[in-house]
């Protein structure tokens, strides 16, 4: 008498997955690499997942920095430079990664309260009007000994 019930219990999660709402667009793995000094901007990274419909990021806001821009590092004849980007398409069922050496956020004037908390909330403005709120972990710059690479003088945009 028990077998039919057990079978139903096994099948139920599959049925839910098949009939559920469409997978949403979402952002995760957000973090901020804090600049070693306040004069230069910090950099932010994350992964944007398109879900079933895909989406487009039109901008990023936060209460915990003076200004945020989306940038892309590009190799121009062997010279790494930065370009500001106004929007980023996230393909349906795909993802776009903001990571060191590629697309990144640039954050000026990260708030001391956020730094002491170790995280800051970012608001992603989507083309369809949605706002996606994500907590980004703030990582402090490596101190001497942790990596010689961090000790070299930082150009305005270097290392992003």
Rank residues 72 and 142 by Cβ distance to Cu ion and give the closer one: 72
Which of the ranges 11-19, 75-83, 128-136, 140-148 carries the binding residues for Cu ion, by CB under 5 A? 75-83
- Which burial class, exposed, middle or buried, applies to 32 when counting CB atoms under 10 A from its CB (0-12, 13-18, 19+)? buried
For residue 103, state whether it binds Cu ion (rule: CB under 5 A): no
CB of 39 to Cu ion, least distance (A): 15
Rank residues 43 and 126 by Cβ distance to Cu ion and give the closer one: 43
**Alpha-carbon gap, residue 109 to 13, rounded angstroms:** 47
CB atoms near residue 82 (< 10 Å): 16
Q: Are strands 42-49 and 26-33 parallel, antiparallel or unpaired?
A: antiparallel
For residue 106, state whether it binds Cu ion (rule: CB under 5 A): yes
CB of 104 to Cu ion, least distance (A): 6
Query: Could you tell me if 74 and 85 are in contact, meaning their C-beta atoms sit under 8 angstroms apart?
Result: no
Instruction: Give the residues lining the site for Cu ion (CB under 5 A).
Output: 71, 82, 106, 160
């Amino acid at each position: 008498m028990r077998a039919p019930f057990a079978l139903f219990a096994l099948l139920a999660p599959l049925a839910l997955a098949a009939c559920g709402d469409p997978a949403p667009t979402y952002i995760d793995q957000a973090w901020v690499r804090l600049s070693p000094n306040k004069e230069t901007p910090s950099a932010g990274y994350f992964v944007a997942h398109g879900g079933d419909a895909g989406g487009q990021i039109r901008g990023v806001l936060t209460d915990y920095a003076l200004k945020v821009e989306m940038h892309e590092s590009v190799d121009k004849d062997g010279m790494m430079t930065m370009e500001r980007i106004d929007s980023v398409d996230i393909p349906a069922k795909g993802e776009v990664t903001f990571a060191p050496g590629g697309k990144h956020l640039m954050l000026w004037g990260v708030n001391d309260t956020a730094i002491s908390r170790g995280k800051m909330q970012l608001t992603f403005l989507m083309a369809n009007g949605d706002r996606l709120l994500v907590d980004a972990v703030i990582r402090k710059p490596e101190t001497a000994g942790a990596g010689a690479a961090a000790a070299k003088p930082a150009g305005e945009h270097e290392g992003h």
